[in-house]
Amino acid sequence: MFKLLRQGKCTVTSIPSDRWDVARFWHPVMGTQGKTYSFAAGVLDQLYDFDPAVFGMSQREAMYMDPQQRVLLQLAWRALEDANISTTSLHGENVGVYIGASSLDHANLTVEDPAAAGPYFMTGNTLSIVSNRISHIFGLSGPSMTVDTACSSSLVALDQAMRALNAGEIDTAIVGGVNILAHPLPFVGFAQARMLSPEGLCRAYDNDGAGYVRAEGGVVFVLRRSDRARKEKDRSYARIVASGVNSAGRTNGISLPSREAQANLLRAIYEGNGIDANQVAFVEGHGTGTKVGDPAEVWSIGTVIGANRRAPVPIGSIKSNIGHTEPASGLFGMMKAILALENNYLPASLHFDTPNEHIDFDGLNVRVTASPIELLRGKRARLAGINSFGFGGANAHVVISDPEPISEDKINNPPSSGHVFLASAHTASSLEALLKDYKTRFANASKGEIRSMVAASGANRTHYALSVRSPQRPSRRYRTRDRQPCGKTGLRYRRSGRSRHEGCQGRFRLFGQRLAMGRHGRRSVP
C-alpha cells in the first residue's frame, strides 16, 4: 500500500464485466431513471477466492457467505499473525471485535431468486455476522458488534473499541472495516442523488470536485492497552491518543454536513485532551471531493487546528488514490496516517489542480498536500488526525501518534542465530506457494533482515498439516523426516498431527485496495 501511495498512483478502474450486465444499468445522461452515469470504482482482484477448510468451514456454508465475511476472516488471520499473538492465548479473555460495515450487496443478489436461499443464507448475509463470524472462528468471548454509520462506520467502531479498552472491559480488540461492490443498485441510487463523480476521480478539496468514486476493500487492526502491550513486549505501529464521535443534528438535509458540529467534535478532542495543535504533523481528511462536504470539513479543521498553529496544517485524502471505501474509509485513512509516520513521508493527495473557490485555505491556515512532504522527527512524538463522516451525520475523529520508542537494547541486540525456519500450511500447493513467497523475500533481503524473518517464522505460530523446517538456512532445499515431495519444486515437507486451525498471530495488519487473498491456499468458492 505505501509503495502505491509513495508513487502517487490512482488505482481506480471500473466495475468488471463479470459482476453484472454493466450496459443494462448505465446511461451517460444524469438523472435517467434506473441508470447510473458512472461505474468507475476501486475494485478488489479475485473477490470470491477463499479456502473454507483453513477456517474449519464446509464449502457449502462458504458458498452462502457474503464476501465481506471472507475478506475479514483472512485479514483478521493476517493481523493476528503480524502481531505475533496466538489465538489460543486469547481463549478465555474478553477480546472484543468491532467492525464497520454497511453493504448488503451480496444478500441483494439473492432477492432476485428467493429459491437460491439455503440453510446458511441468513448467517452468511446479515451485517451482525460480519463481526460475529470472527469471534466464532477464533473463539473470542468479548463484545462482538457491527457498526453501521455509513462512511464513518469503521472509525466509530474504533471509538467503541477505545471506550471498552479505556474502561477496562477488554484489553485487546480486533477493529476493522469492509466494503464490497457486488450489486448495481447502490450505484444507481448514488447516481440519482448526484453523489458520484462524473469523471471517475476523487478530487479532494479541488474546485472541479463534483462527487466521489466508490471502492471496495478491507482493513483490520489489533488494538491493545499500553500496559498489556508493554507486559507482552508487543511491537507497536502507533499509539491512539484520543478519539470521539458526535452527530450533525438537524441540517438542511440529512445528507448535508454541519461544519459547526464537526468543529465541536475537534474542539472536544483537541482542547479536551490538551493536545498542542503544533504537534499535529498532518490531518488525513474525509475529502470525498464534493462541493458541500469539502468546504465544511476544511472550515472545521482550520477553525480548531489551523487557528492554533504557527504553520499551515497539511491535509489530504487517500480517496484520491483508491476511491471511497465507504464504511471502511476511516480505517483506510488511519492506515495511510500510520504508514506516513512510520516512513517519515506524507504522500501527495492526488488530482488537486485548482483550490476549491469556496474554501479560504490561507485564512484557515490549511494547505492541501499536492506534493509529498518529508515528516521530520523531533523531541516529541508527532501527531496525526483522521476524519471520517457519515452521510447521515455521524462524525468521527481519531488522533494517533508515533509509537513508544524501541529500547536501545532491542536495537543493539537483533535476533541471534540458532532459530529454526518454519513454514506450514494445510495443503502441499499452499505450502509450495508460501515457500516461493519466502524465497522471493529472502532474495531481496539483507542478512539481518533474513535473520529477523527466520526468527519470526516460528514464533507463536500454529503448526499446520504440512510444514518444512530448516535451522537458520532458508535458502537451502528443505527436507524433513517424511521426505515426501511437495509439488514440482523438489521441496520436501513434513506432516504434522494438527490440521485444524487453532491460532494465528499479530499486532495489526492492514491491506489496501488490491487485497491479496489466500496466501495460505486459494480455492475459489462462488
Answer for the pair 348, 315: CB distance below 8 angstroms, yes or no: no
Question: How many whole angstroms separate alpha carbon 161 and alpha carbon 176?
Answer: 10
DSSP annotation of 275: -
Answer for the pair 120, 65: CB distance below 8 angstroms, yes or no: yes
DSSP annotation of 252: S
SS3 content of the chain, % helix, strand, coil (to 5): 35, 20, 45
CA torsion angle for 220, 57, 138, 427 (degrees, to 10)? -80
Which residues does residue 20 pair with via DSSP β-bridges, in sequence order? none
Could you tell me which of 245, 376, 390 has the C-alpha nearest to residue 327?
A: 390
CA atoms within 13 A on the CB side of 282: 29
Which residues does residue 401 pair with via DSSP β-bridges, in sequence order? 239, 383
List, in order, residues 6 or more apart from 36 with CB less than 8 Å away: 25, 26, 27, 184, 187, 188, 190, 191, 196
Torsion region of 344: left, alpha or beta (phi above 0 gives left; psi -120 to 50 gives alpha): left
Residues with active-site annotation = 151, 286, 324
- Letter string b/e over residues 461-473, b meaning 16 or more CB atoms within 10 A of that residue's CB: bbbbbbbbbbeee
Residue written as grid cell 479543521: 301
